[in-house]
Chains A and B, each alone.
Chain A
Amino acid sequence: MMENLNSETTSNYDRRRFLNRIWAFFGVVAAVEFGWLGLSFMNSRKERNQPVKTESIIAAGPIERFAPGTVTAVPSGQFYLACLTDGSLLALSRTCTHLGCSVPWDEEKNKFICPCHGSTFNLTGEVLTAPAPRPLDIYPVRIENGIIKVDTSALQKRDRFEPSQATRI
């Protein structure tokens, strides 16, 4: 009788442990399911909120308007048109490559200065002072019938300035 009871408690214990493990397993499965549910909910929102580029080609104006060595802001396209000293053109994104602030052009100091963390960039968008890790991003520039057109849907990242990036007239 005594032995019988002993073996019964042992098997009870084993059974309880087994059932507990099953419960734990289902608990983990439920947590994963709920996590997946939440993430898909948020991910679908991400996809719906992708930017819709209605007009990606921005006409920045006739070429005569841009003198060598000047920078002109084009607010409608959120970029700067930099006319380099040799007269070639670069469309520079106004977003700082460090943490995304909007970088103004300082006419007197002849450079872009970021108001958030002090990065500076020269006329070609190259980094003059850290912490920005790379030059300002650029957009492709085309010249059609004397009008400068910039494709703002094709942002290009770069590691350094090369003359081939600029569009010659």
Chain B
Amino acid sequence: MTPDHPKSRRSFSDFLLHLHPRTIPEENLRLTLSWGLGGMAVMLVCLLFLTGILLLLTYQPSTGSAYASIVTLTREVRFGLWIRNIHHWSANLLVVIAMLHLLRIVLTGAFGQGRRLNWIIGLFLLFLLLSANFTGYLLPWDQLAYWAVTICTSMLGYIPVGGLWLQELFRGGAEIGPATLSNFCVLHVAFIPATLFVLLLWHFWLVRRAGGLVQVEHDNPDDVPVQRVPTVPNLIVREAAVGLVLVAFILILAIVWDAPLMEQANPGMSPNPAKAPWYFLGFQELLLHLHPVFASFLWPLLGVAALLWVPFWQDSALPTGVWFGSNSGRRLVIWTATVGALTTLAIILADNLLLQSNAAVAVDTLVTRGLLPTALLIALLVGFYFLLVKGLKYTRAEAVMAGIVLVLVALAVCTIIGVWFRGAEMHLVWL
């Protein structure tokens, strides 16, 4: 450290170096390796904490006054509307950024040896931020909030053992009421942020311990040795640039678009159509087609179990630091995404015809809308895997990448249909 650095400045950069290595490979500075997605997520979480504290000062967490306090906030509190909008748009964008971050981790082979624990922590973080979003939109106690909490706690009731117990625990009683709002308020402003904070620090520290971002492996000793540059200022200025542009973007977005607020909660009438916020509409699409035990319990359980298990499968991660692993990997992803999107669309349209034909009245839906689709899905994924590995000679890592891309694309298609192509009574409509 040069003597002309003031002490305070040095201690600040020393603090940053707890989260970053002192030097990093120069090639890792390129934006196209990570697109700065992790850093963006951190920035959004900071915005959410700051605006959240302000919102908490005016919000009243009781069923009688919650809605009025939000209306007061948006109409009478100076900058109240803007602060709420910033909180809303940061939370929404965070879901997008976190999903892209997950996709980036998969496509650059960043969940292999040395990063397995961090993959699991990352999945927990994703779960926490979805929970934070969910509990957050319950707080205004508008129509969206009331029916979302009704549907979600009803879904808990379908968990085979202890489901009803969990349902009563989250509702704070047999029915939805003041205790329910207290529960979700405490989750949103205390439990989730605290857990998120601890896990985030752990997440950063594990990235540092794994040696920073994933890096292209140079096996060839004739290659030029990896050039390392100091983190301060090289990485820090880049992170600051991405972060500040993002903040500017959110601030402008929050001026232009207002966060939605529906009518005050009315237990007698569900809105028509009653739609979840966009990030849960893929999930809601599943509920339209599958038996509730499968849509609300078994399929999410299978998905989570598979994601947790993936890094522990031998050779399931791509070679590190190269997008898609190779050019053939890139082509595979494009093909998989195209075929996956069309297949999902075809399945939804076909099942829609089946549902409309009223053919399924007398049959056992636990089989036709539960076991049968589950068996088909597993057969499809296993068949797809063997086709790629045995038939087309792709590596296991490439097949795993394609599998994850397939599932994410299917979810994206369901989400798009839910957002734009479902109208009254959740019927399919054209724009």
For the complex, would chain B's binding face be called helix, strand, loop or mixed by DSSP majority?
helix
Chain B residues near A104: list those with CB within 8 A: 269-270, 272
B269 near A102 with CB under 8 A, answer: yes
For the complex, would chain A's binding face be called helix, strand, loop or mixed by DSSP majority?
loop
Instruction: Check A133/B292 contact, CB under 8 A, given A42-B169, A100-B150.
Output: yes
Render A74-100 as a binary contact track against B, CB cut-off 8 A, 1 for contact.
Answer: 010010000000000000001000111
Q: Which residues of B in the span 149-182 have a Cβ within 8 Å of any Cβ on A?
A: 150-151, 153-155, 168-169, 172-175, 177, 179
Chain B residues near A42: list those with CB within 8 A: 169, 172
CB distance from A4 to the nearest CB of B (A): 43
The reply on B210 being an interface residue by CB < 8 A is: no
B355 near A101 with CB under 8 A, answer: no
CB distance from A150 to the nearest CB of B (A): 17
The reply on A118 being an interface residue by CB < 8 A is: yes
The reply on A37 being an interface residue by CB < 8 A is: no
CB distance from A100 to the nearest CB of B (A): 4
B151 near A102 with CB under 8 A, answer: no
A99 near B174 with CB under 8 A, answer: no
Chain B residues near A116: list those with CB within 8 A: 147, 151, 270, 273-274, 426
Complex Cα gap A70–B147 (Å): 28
Complex Cα gap A45–B269 (Å): 27
The reply on A50 being an interface residue by CB < 8 A is: yes
A115 near B426 with CB under 8 A, answer: yes
Chain B residues near A51: list those with CB within 8 A: 173-175
The reply on B289 being an interface residue by CB < 8 A is: yes
Instruction: Check A118/B270 contact, CB under 8 A, given A51-B174, A133-B365.
Output: no
Instruction: Check A49/B173 contact, CB under 8 A, given A99-B151, A99-B155.
Output: yes
A101 near B172 with CB under 8 A, answer: no
Instruction: Check A115/B174 contact, CB under 8 A, given A46-B168, A46-B169.
Output: no
The reply on B40 being an interface residue by CB < 8 A is: no
CB distance from B364 to the nearest CB of A (A): 10
CB distance from A133 to the nearest CB of B (A): 6
Chain B residues near A126: list those with CB within 8 A: 361
For chains A and B in complex, what number of residue pairs have CB atoms within 8 angstroms? 105
CB distance from B8 to the nearest CB of A (A): 41
Instruction: Check A45/B179 contact, CB under 8 A, given A99-B292, A101-B270, A131-B292.
Output: yes
CB distance from B374 to the nearest CB of A (A): 15
Complex Cα gap A98–B292 (Å): 7
Report, as a range, how many residues of chain B touch the other chain: 35 or more
A131 near B291 with CB under 8 A, answer: yes
Render B338-367 as a binary contact track against A, CB cut-off 8 A, 1 for contact.
Answer: 000000000000000001101011000110
The reply on A128 being an interface residue by CB < 8 A is: yes
CB distance from B67 to the nearest CB of A (A): 18
> Within the complex, which residue of B147, B268, B366 is in contact with A75, where a contact is CB–CB below 8 Å?
B268
B173 near A128 with CB under 8 A, answer: no
CB distance from B266 to the nearest CB of A (A): 9
The reply on A117 being an interface residue by CB < 8 A is: yes
Chain B residues near A75: list those with CB within 8 A: 268
CB closest residue in chain A, given B351 = A130
The reply on A129 being an interface residue by CB < 8 A is: yes
The reply on A141 being an interface residue by CB < 8 A is: no
Q: Which of A43, A102, A130 has the most CB of B within 10 A?
A: A130
Instruction: Check A49/B179 contact, CB under 8 A, given A100-B151, A116-B151.
Output: yes
CB closest residue in chain B, given A115 = B272
B173 near A45 with CB under 8 A, answer: yes
CB distance from A42 to the nearest CB of B (A): 6
Instruction: Check A133/B291 contact, CB under 8 A, given A45-B172, A101-B147, A115-B271.
Output: yes
Render A110-139 as a binary contact track against B, CB cut-off 8 A, 1 for contact.
Answer: 000111111000000011111101000000
A99 near B369 with CB under 8 A, answer: no
Chain A residues near B358: list those with CB within 8 A: 128-129
Complex Cα gap A104–B155 (Å): 21
Instruction: Check A49/B426 contact, CB under 8 A, given A116-B270, A129-B360.
Output: no
The reply on B424 being an interface residue by CB < 8 A is: yes
The reply on B284 being an interface residue by CB < 8 A is: yes
Chain A residues near B174: list those with CB within 8 A: 46, 49-51
Complex Cα gap A49–B179 (Å): 8
Chain A residues near B179: list those with CB within 8 A: 45, 49
A115 near B355 with CB under 8 A, answer: no
Complex Cα gap A50–B269 (Å): 23
Chain A residues near B271: list those with CB within 8 A: 115
Between A and B, 22 residue pairs with Cβ closer than 8 Å are A46-B168, A46-B172, A49-B172, A51-B173, A51-B174, A94-B268, A99-B150, A102-B268, A104-B272, A114-B425, A115-B273, A115-B424, A116-B147, A117-B287, A129-B356, A129-B360, A129-B361, A130-B291, A130-B365, A131-B289, A131-B365, A133-B292
Q: 5 smallest A-B Cβ distances: which pairs?
A: A49-B173, A115-B272, A100-B154, A99-B154, A118-B426
